[in-house]
Structures are given as structure tokens and as C-alpha cells.
């Protein structure tokens, strides 16, 4: 069960990272368009409004990058934990296969 749930966690993390990447690309395009738009308007009020929107999108991109880094770091920690858990299980298997038997195996 641990392996299956670990696999689905990995898949979910990968899907989330892909969605973040696609959303980031979209926001970068919108930010670029807004920057170009703000230069075209002669009205300072409109230009400032568009500039504020572009700044907000830039902030959103910054936060998306932080979320991406947190997800990647969490993935690495979980992977390390799974490796350590696997090593411990292997050690237990080896110690039980060294000829020792359980309670019912006394001769």
C-alpha cells in the first residue's frame, strides 16, 4: 500500500508542477501583453491601472515559483524517506533470514 500511495503522490506532484509551469507560461504572456498595452495608452490613469495589473501578475509568478520549489523539495524529502524506509525493511528481512526462526520454530 505504501508504494502505491507513494506513486500516486509522485504522480500528483508531477501533475501539479506541470500545471504550475503551464500557468506560469500563461501569466508571463499576459504580463508581457499588459506591459506593451500600458505603453500604448496615452491616458496616464489607464496606463497606471495596466501597470498595477502587470505588477500583480509578476508577484503571482514569484509566488508560483516559491510553491514549485516547496513541492520539489517535499518530493526529495519523501523520496529520501522512502529510500530509508526501504533500507530498514531490507535490514529486517536480512536479520530474519540469517537462520533464526520464530517462536513456533523451536526444535
Q: What pLDDT digit, counting tens, does each position of 36-95 carry? A: 877 777 788 887 888 888 888 889 989 999 998 998 888 888 888 877 777 666 666 666
Q: How many domains does the chain have?
A: 1
Coil, strand or helix at 44? helix
Other beta carbons within 10 angstroms of residue 54's beta carbon come to: 19
The parent domain of residue 72 ranges over 2-89
Residue 52 lies in a domain: yes
Cα separation of 13 and 10, whole Å? 5
**Residue 18 resides in a domain:** yes
Q: How confident is the model at residue 99 (pLDDT cuts 50, 70, 90)?
A: low
Q: Is 99 inside any structural domain? A: no
Instruction: Summarize the confidence of residues 11-27 as an average pLDDT.
Output: 88
Kindly state whether residue 98 falls inside one of the protein's structural domains: no
In the prediction, which pLDDT does 94 show?
63
Question: What sign for the dihedral angle of Cα 96, 97, 100, 105?
Answer: positive
Amino acid at each position: 500500500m505504501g508504494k502505491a500511495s507513494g506513486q500516486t503522490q509522485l504522480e500528483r506532484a508531477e501533475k501539479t508542477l506541470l500545471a504550475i509551469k503551464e500557468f506560469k507560461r500563461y501569466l508571463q504572456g499576459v504580463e508581457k501583453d499588459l506591459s506593451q498595452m500600458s505603453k500604448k495608452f496615452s491616458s496616464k490613469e489607464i496606463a497606471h491601472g495596466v501597470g498595477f495589473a502587470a505588477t500583480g501578475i509578476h508577484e503571482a509568478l514569484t509566488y508560483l515559483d516559491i510553491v514549485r520549489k516547496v513541492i520539489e523539495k517535499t518530493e526529495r524529502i519523501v523520496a529520501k524517506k522512502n529510500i530509508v524506509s526501504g533500507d530498514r525493511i531490507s535490514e529486517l528481512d536480512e536479520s530474519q533470514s540469517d537462520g533464526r526462526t520464530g517462536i513456533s520454530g523451536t526444535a
